[in-house]
């Protein structure tokens, strides 16, 4: 099962803090790791790859980087959803 971490608030040290938080939960996802920081927030993710071994890097952001998400779970109907979205 993947691991997620994050917090709201903080100062210039948020990148170091979220890196340490993600390291602590490294056993939850040894296959990939990612962090995203911005003014007053930090997101971290550790990935356990079961489906889509090559993709799935998180945190995920939209095209203009105004939204971001980290999540734990599988989207089991991803093929149907992808067909609908195309």
Q: Which residues are catalytic?
A: 2
In DSSP terms, 41 is beta-bridged to: 8, 38
d(CA 20, CA 33) in angstroms, rounded, equals 12
The answer to whether residues 36 and 42 touch, using CB atoms and an 8 Å cutoff, is yes
Q: Which strand (E) or helix (H) includes residue 38?
A: strand 32-38
């Amino acid at each position: 099962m993947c691991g997620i971490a994050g917090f709201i608030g903080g100062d210039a040290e948020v990148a170091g803090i979220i890196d340490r938080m993600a390291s602590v939960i490294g056993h939850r996802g040894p296959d990939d790791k990612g962090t995203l920081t911005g003014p007053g927030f930090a997101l971290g993710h550790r990935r356990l790859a079961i489906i889509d071994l090559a993709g799935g890097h998180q945190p995920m952001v939209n095209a203009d980087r105004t939204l971001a998400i980290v999540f734990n779970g599988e989207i089991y109907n991803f093929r149907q959803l992808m067909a609908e979205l195309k």
